[in-house]
């Protein structure tokens, strides 16, 4: 079916990226269609509807962010503090360098479309599950606690990053170190309790 042609969809997403980068999170669907040289109904037809277009943009960009974060938090040769610092720095650099896209996806599209909001939540949750799996595999915590920590860390970094984008006067390094301190303290607290319990046994 021509409406699902992957090359054509890619070209339309490229057009959407250009408009969003140029006009910000309030970029209109009409402007995106005009950039692609088509009408809005034809634009939607390639993605099923407007929600489909939003989800395709989310998949393109959020999955790219996740792919760039994965090597950092999965690097077993680095200590926890170093890995956390690298991962958070990469994330903050990515969202600040793509500010209009970030605000379009997390603020505008998610706010106006419940299906998109659910899709974005699922993408963020998948990263929390993956991080929890890494923590469990490395025996940083037992499986259930590892999942709790994985989701907590991802949610904390995402919401803090969102706040930081609204406060550019705050030094990025200060934000990173504050988050790293919380992550290391949470993991160390559990390890300390386990060691203490073992000592009493």
Per-position DSSP letters for 19-62, written without gaps between them: HHHHH-TT--HHHHHHHHTS-HHHHHHTTSSHHHHHHHHHHHHH
CB 142 within 8 Å of CB 136: yes
**Cα distance from N-terminal residue to C-terminal residue, the chain:** 67
pLDDT at 6: 85
What pLDDT shows up at residue 76? 66
Quote the distance between the C-alpha of residue 16 and its chain's center.
19
Taking Cα atoms as reference points, which of 181, 196, 20 lies closest to residue 104?
A: 20
pLDDT, residue 177, reads 97
pLDDT value at residue 97: 93
Instruction: Count Cα atoms within 13 angstroms, Cβ side, for 59.
Output: 10
The pLDDT of residue 74 is: 72
The sign of the CA dihedral 130, 131, 134, 136 is negative
pLDDT at 16: 96
Q: What pLDDT is recorded for position 71?
A: 84
Using alpha carbons only, how large is the chain's radius of gyration in Å? 20
List of residues 6+ apart from 75 with CB closer than 8 A: 83, 86
pTM metric for this prediction: 0.84
CB 33 within 8 A of CB 39: yes
pLDDT at res. 192: 45
Residue-wise over 104-121: b if at least 16 C-beta within 10 A, else e? Answer: bbbebbbeebeebeebbe
Give the pLDDT of residue 190.
54
The pLDDT value recorded for residue 51 is: 92
Distance of CA 187 to the CA centre of its chain: 22
Whole-angstrom distance, CA of residue 96 vs CA of residue 98: 5
- Sequential pLDDT tens for the chain (201 residues): 344 688 999 999 999 999 999 999 999 999 999 999 999 999 999 998 999 999 999 999 988 888 888 888 777 667 889 999 999 999 999 999 999 999 999 999 999 999 999 999 999 999 999 999 989 998 888 999 999 999 999 999 999 999 999 999 999 999 999 999 999 999 886 554 444 444 444
Q: What Å distances lie between residue 177 and 82, 91, 116, 154, CA to CA?
A: 10, 14, 32, 15
């Amino acid at each position: 079916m021509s409406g699902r042609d992957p090359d054509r969809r890619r070209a339309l997403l490229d057009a959407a990226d250009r408009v969003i980068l140029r006009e910000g999170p309030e970029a209109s669907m009409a402007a995106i269609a005009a950039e692609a040289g088509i009408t809005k109904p034809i634009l939607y037809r390639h993605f099923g509807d407007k929600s489909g277009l939003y989800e395709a943009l989310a998949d393109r960009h959020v999955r790219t962010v996740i792919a760039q974060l994965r090597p950092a938090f999965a690097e077993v040769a680095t200590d926890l503090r170093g890995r956390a610092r690298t991962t958070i720095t990469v994330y903050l650099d990515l969202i600040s360098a793509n500010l209009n896209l970030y605000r379009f996806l997390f603020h505008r599209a998610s706010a106006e479309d419940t299906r998109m909001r659910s899709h974005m939540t699922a993408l963020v949750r998948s990263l929390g599950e993956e991080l929890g799996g890494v923590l469990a595999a490395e025996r940083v915590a037992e499986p259930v606690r590892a999942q709790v920590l994985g989701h907590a860390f991802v949610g904390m970094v995402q919401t803090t990053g969102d706040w930081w984008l609204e406060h550019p006067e705050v030094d990025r390094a200060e934000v990173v170190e504050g988050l790293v301190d919380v992550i290391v303290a949470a993991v160390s607290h559990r390890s300390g309790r386990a060691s203490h319990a073992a000592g009493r046994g």
